[in-house]
């Protein structure tokens, strides 16, 4: 029979096969209809228990099950539906299956994440197909949630508190199948899809009395319960480690996971499940989870699914055009990284530099990466050799013949870039896309070097390219729609996340990012202790505190960014860098010659390239001290946090107002992945939209900060009028 989302097949040997199969989508998700189908299927199985010898749960889709239907879940959150009842119904059905008294096997034929893996955890045995793209795990913490379908309760009982928390629940790790087997998440693997069902049937036949370990008399939790002396001795370190990781940033999910796991480990499995439900519902009512779901699911989906890809005048899409031969000009760290990700995507690359030795050195960067991948088992030697064979180092412009896509990645000099494009344009394919990797130089101006400005576009990669997933695509005044579509096709081919912005000084990411660094330098000029400035950055939830980040980026670069801000201020005074920030950076670079980590000295001191502490000389030169004085009143840490967050969010709003960036989704994703805007906010647009107290409170806070700190905190008309994403 069929139950809509789940097909139920009763075999002659008494084994029932439940096949998850969404009737209209390519992916199985846990929706209201799925829940109803699951209830009907379990009802039938329970009713026919006496004639059943076992149950196999598998999927008809490429993947096993992707997790909750987040569109539906968000609607339920907004409508104030009874989320507790929804979770308890789902978990009740899984528990009925788990306690059926017959062996139940999960035949995991593809990726099983979140709720998908929670279904598998409710089975007595898990067999997974081992494929290169298959992932298994519980990533809910990355959405500001916890695994509320039994994931916390069962994983703690399966692996023990310490392993479950540190390796899975608090990290949200998505494991390859081999790693999942080693970690104990699955019990068995097969290499061919056809082997899954026979393996499941064989296990059922061999284990007719199977049950979950925690339902067997005498069960003991691995590593002990929180009351066990050995575990109790180390349990406080879990909270300390968590606090070190997230600081005081408003990240409730990790804390809720820790609490649900520890509290649940003290009681029976059913009570633990109820505790888990209370915590997940509390998270779903919190704005942080809403923000993170919006950013990491809905906004990310917009960016990666071609939401910015233009159509032709008649509304039809441009034909997809994947590059066949890419020219990467400049074999420094950036160019070498671009060559690697391009070759990894199966595309031939000509990596050109002035000297062949430099180009060969650029290819060596890829060799280092693939050697590491081979050594760790993530790549075979044959695949590594194929990747490296696609990169062709050269110092001869003639080798660029036939290249249909160009990524220029030379030094940030308009004159040098002009020379490069004048030399290469006559050589590459007549219809080649002409791209320039730049973080600040206006694309419209650079396009003056070529005869086809409509084919010219900005491609702002982030360093290191092989680890940073974002690509900021900058459209010049003459860039046409087809060129933009081709740039997006390339981005998809190399597996990166694109955002599209219009030409402007500093574009979007560099312009908004600079506000974080400039605000920290301004605080230092005001006499605020550098340790307090760094503490405020951590408390806000940034991945790195601002003075440390300034050193990593190099203060000379920051000095140039601020100079760009001053030039832009001629048209818009609000673009000006704060005078205090200019004084601090200019003095650090020009007078003190402390330019950052690369030079071995900046805001921090370094020994053998390692950061050893804030430079004590900051007190002497800037009227502050490395640690706050007990004799001085403590600065308002909440105000420092607001200066960082609102400073960047207001600048992002200006970019929207000016048409620099047109999509809220891209503004959010570009900020989080481009310069580390705190993930708990959902991005700057989402942060403004969900500001506590709404538009009135936000407007009042901006007015207050503007009065104390200047025009950079001036609320734009969109904020004043309460116009939200």
Active site residues per annotation: 460
Which residue, 676, 720, 725, is CA-closest to 702?
Answer: 720
CA distances in angstroms from 211 to 97, 456, 493, 620, listed in the order given? 10, 63, 46, 69
Separation of alpha carbons 267 and 252, rounded Å: 23
Beta bridge partners of 406: 327, 434
Please give the full DSSP string across 521-566, using - where no structure is assigned.
Answer: HHHHHTT--HHHHHHHHHHHT-SS-HHHHHHHH-HHHHHHHHHHHH
3-state secondary structure (DSSP) of residue 187: coil
Tell me the Cα Rg of the chain: 28
- Give the per-residue SS3 of 443-484: HHHHHHHCCCHHHEEEEEECCCCCCCCEEEEEECCCCCHHHH
Give the number of C-alpha atoms closer than 13 A to the C-alpha of residue 260, restricted to the C-beta side. 36
CA distances in angstroms from 604 to 355, 516, 619, listed in the order given? 36, 18, 13
Token pair recorded at residue 411: 């030094």
Separation of alpha carbons 600 and 117, rounded Å: 47
Contacts of 515 (CB under 8 A, 6+ apart): 647, 648, 651, 712
CA 15 to chain centre: 41
Which residue, 441, 418, 417, is CA-closest to 507?
Answer: 441
Work out the end-to-end distance of the chain between its first and last CA atoms, rounded to an integer number of angstroms.
45
Token pair recorded at residue 535: 């503490």
Give the number of C-alpha atoms closer than 13 A to the C-alpha of residue 371, restricted to the C-beta side. 6
Strands (E), 200-353: 325-329, 348-352
């Amino acid at each position: 029979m069929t139950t809509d989302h789940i097909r139920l097949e009763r075999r002659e040997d008494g084994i029932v096969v439940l096949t998850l199969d969404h009737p209209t989508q390519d992916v199985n998700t846990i929706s209201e209809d799925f829940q109803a189908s699951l209830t009907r299927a379990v009802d039938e199985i329970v009713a026919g228990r006496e004639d059943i010898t076992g149950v196999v749960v598998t999927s008809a889709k490429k993947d096993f099950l992707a997790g909750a239907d987040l569109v539906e879940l968000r609607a339920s959150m907004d409508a104030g539906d009874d989320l507790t009842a929804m979770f308890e119904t789902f978990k009740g059905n899984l528990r009925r299956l788990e306690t059926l008294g017959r062996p139940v096997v999960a035949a995991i034929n593809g990726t099983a994440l979140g709720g998908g893996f929670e279904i598998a955890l409710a089975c007595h045995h898990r067999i997974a197909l081992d494929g290169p793209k298959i992932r298994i795990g519980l990533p809910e913490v990355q959405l500001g949630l916890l695994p509320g379908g039994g994931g916390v309760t069962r994983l703690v009982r399966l692996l023990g508190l310490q392993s479950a928390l540190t390796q899975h629940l608090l990290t949200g790790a998505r494991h390859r199948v081999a790693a999942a087997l080693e970690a104990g998440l699955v019990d068995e693997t097969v290499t061919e899809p056809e082997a899954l069902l026979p393996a499941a049937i064989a296990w059922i036949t061999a284990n007719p009395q199977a049950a979950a370990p925690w339902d067997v008399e005498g069960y003991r939790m691995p590593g002990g319960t929180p009351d066990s002396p050995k575990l109790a001795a180390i349990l406080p370190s879990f909270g300390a480690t968590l606090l070190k990781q997230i600081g005081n940033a408003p990240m409730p999910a990790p804390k809720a996971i820790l609490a649900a796991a520890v509290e649940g480990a003290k009681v029976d499995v059913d009570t633990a499940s109820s505790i888990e439900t209370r915590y997940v519902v509390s998270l779903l009512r919190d704005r942080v989870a809403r923000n993170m779901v919006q950013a990491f699911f809905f906004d990310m989906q917009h960016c990666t699914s071609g939401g910015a890809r233009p159509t032709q005048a008649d509304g039809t899409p441009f034909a997809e055009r994947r590059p066949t031969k890419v020219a990467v000009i400049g074999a420094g760290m950036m160019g070498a990284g671009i060559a690697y990700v391009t070759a990894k995507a199966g595309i031939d690359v000509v990596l050109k530099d002035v000297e062949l030795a430099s180009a060969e050195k650029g290819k060596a960067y890829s060799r280092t990466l693939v050697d590491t991948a081979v050594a760790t088992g993530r790549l075979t030697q044959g695949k590594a050799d194929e990747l490296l064979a696609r990169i062709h180092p050269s110092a001869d412009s003639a080798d660029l013949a036939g290249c249909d896509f160009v990524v220029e990645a030379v030094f940030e000099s308009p004159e040098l870039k002009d020379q490069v494009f004048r030399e290469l344009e006559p050589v590459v394919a007549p219809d080649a896309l002409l791209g320039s990797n730049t973080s600040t130089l206006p694309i419209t101006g650079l396009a003056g070097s070529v005869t086809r400005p409509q084919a010219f576009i900005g491609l702002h990669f982030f360093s290191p390219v092989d680890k940073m997933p974002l690509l900021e695509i900058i459209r010049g005044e003459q860039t046409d729609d087809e060129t933009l579509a081709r740039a997006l096709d390339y981005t998809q081919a190399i597996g990166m996340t694109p955002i599209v912005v219009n030409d402007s000084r500093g574009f979007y990411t560099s312009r908004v990012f600079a506000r974080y660094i400039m605000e920290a330098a301004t605080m230092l000029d005001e006499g605020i202790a550098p340790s307090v400035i760094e503490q405020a950055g951590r408390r806000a939830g940034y991945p790195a505190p601002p003075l440390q980040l300034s050193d990593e980026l190099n203060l000379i670069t920051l000095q140039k960014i601020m100079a760009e801000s001053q030039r832009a201020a001629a048209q818009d005074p609000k673009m000006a860098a704060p005078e205090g920030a200019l004084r601090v950076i200019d003095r650090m670079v020009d007078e003190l010659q402390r330019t950052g980590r690369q030079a071995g000295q900046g805001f921090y001191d370094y020994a053998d390239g390692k950061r050893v502490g804030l430079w004590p000389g900051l007190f002497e030169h800037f009227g502050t001290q490395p640690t706050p004085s007990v004799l001085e009143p403590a600065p308002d840490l909440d105000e420092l946090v607001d200066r960082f967050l609102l400073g960047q969010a207001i600048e992002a709003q200006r970019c929207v107002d000016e048409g620099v960036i047109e999509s809220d989704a891209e503004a959010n994703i570009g900020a989080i992945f481009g310069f580390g805007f705190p993930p708990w906010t959902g991005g700057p647009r989402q942060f403004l939209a969900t500001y506590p107290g709404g538009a009135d409170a936000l407007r009042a806070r901006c007015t207050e900060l503007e009065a104390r700190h200047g025009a950079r905190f001036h609320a734009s008309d969109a904020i004043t009028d309460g116009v939200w994403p």
